[in-house]
Structure 1
């Protein structure tokens, strides 16, 4: 065989390899792709709005890196069966639906195997308030937390203890992680007594005192506080995180912290997203 023939064959083989690799990669990419839709309001709390803006920067970057799509909307009328059929995961960014039809569509979506991540104010409910505890399935069965009871202040970093064991969301996480500043919530119901709830992270005792007031009730000195958990009957994870620190005292309202700036916190959220998407 001539030298020219060898060259031609090598070129043909290389082209075939590139085609097969590219085709295989494309098929693999197609196989891995999932679709995420985030719903949010821009409520009056600037700390929540700041978090929402951060999330809408973070998740598109992760979508490019990990081969999924990310859409976000303030149009909650899209929380319906037809629209949701395009997506494998829903995010509630510091928000929850108020309309009964939207609530029913979400409940059906979750009971049919959809994935969900909720952040911070998405779990808030307090009667009487602007956001009453008027959705029994969501607050008592799905989240298991019931009503909001109290919070820390000012937003403060915390050391969280990994309680997930070999759960897919936490098994590659260290025993403790440090978060960025957050306003931490306490809940009506004891999640440790709910067999459907798996607590993934809680406030570690090394975090106390947590908060600096000025109200003494806004400083936690002891106690047990779950902050990340899942309901075993659904593909879901709730995160208490989602409240950036803001310069309220200085009256500039500038953002002083960003939730996704903590590498371990960002990894935990990404782990959860990948898990609920499966």
Structure 2
């Protein structure tokens, strides 16, 4: 991550990127890239708790903090509720999508954070939200799993699904990822400007 290298690209994809991957100089280059109109697509571990060393990333890219995922069992079938079926990521889907994955929970819903638009939530009635040693992971009725936001002129989209290799061969999920990528690249869908802050209401 440097200004010269990032200038060659329209978007960056963090596919299960876990850990603090930035030096201080790289943080500055990435932040400027996004705010000046670059795109970012984060998949699954790109939003886990290993990124907390950089609060700007957690607050301004993700918008909420990871708290955990179920462990008994780790991978469960659950139902996603599709809230926005006009977005390039979700317009091919019906009102719901049933998938098996490692389902993330967060300390709060990102809904209502300036610029955040929720595309899909989890129906917690369809899986068990228990972490290690009985950790309570329920977020209640509002459990977003897929959302986008504007960061300056840039587009950022986070998709909390996609832990397993099999996820990427599921036709519906693969098409969803393709739509997500087309949006962050600026090829389709609503754009972003410095004044774009009209996120979803709580």
Q: What range is the shorter-chain TM-score in? A: 0.7 to 0.9
CA RMSD in angstroms comes to 2.4
Q: Tell me the distance in 2 between the aligned counterparts of 1:132 and 1:269.
A: 22
Flag the 1:214–1:141 CA change in 2: closer, same or farther, 3 A.
Answer: closer
Residue aligning to 1:106:
30
TM-score (norm 2): 0.78
Flag the 1:191–1:222 CA change in 2: closer, same or farther, 3 A.
Answer: closer
Q: Alpha-carbon deviation of 1:93?
A: 1.7
Q: Please state if 1:80 is matched with 2:80.
A: no
Q: 2:61 aligns with which of 135, 142, 160?
A: 142
Residue aligning to 2:86:
166
Q: Tell me the distance in 2 between the aligned counterparts of 1:152 and 1:223.
A: 17
TM-score (norm 1): 0.58
Residue aligning to 1:262:
170
Number of residues of Structure 1 aligned to a counterpart in Structure 2? 180
**Please, which runs of 5 or more residues in structure 2 have no aligned partner?**
187-202
1:224 aligned counterpart, secondary structure = coil
Q: Alpha-carbon deviation of 1:80?
A: 1.0
Residue aligning to 2:200:
none
2:102 aligned counterpart, secondary structure = coil
Q: Alpha-carbon deviation of 1:209?
A: 3.1
Q: Which has the higher helix share?
A: 1
1:122 aligned counterpart, secondary structure = helix
Q: Which has the higher contact order (CA 8 A, sep 6+)?
A: 2
Per-residue CA deviations over 1:121-152 (Å, capped at 9, x if unaligned) read: 11222xxxxx362212211122111x322211
**TM alignment of 1:102-251, pairs within 5 A:** 102-125=26-49, 131=50, 133-145=52-64, 147-153=65-71, 154-179=74-99, 181-209=100-128, 215-217=133-135, 220=138, 222-233=140-151, 234-244=154-164
Q: Tell me the distance in 1 between the aligned counterparts of 2:117 and 2:11.
A: 20
Structure showing greater radius of gyration is 1
Residue aligning to 2:196:
none
Flag the 1:195–1:221 CA change in 2: closer, same or farther, 3 A.
Answer: closer
**Please, which runs of 5 or more residues in structure 1 have no aligned partner?**
1-78, 126-130, 245-256
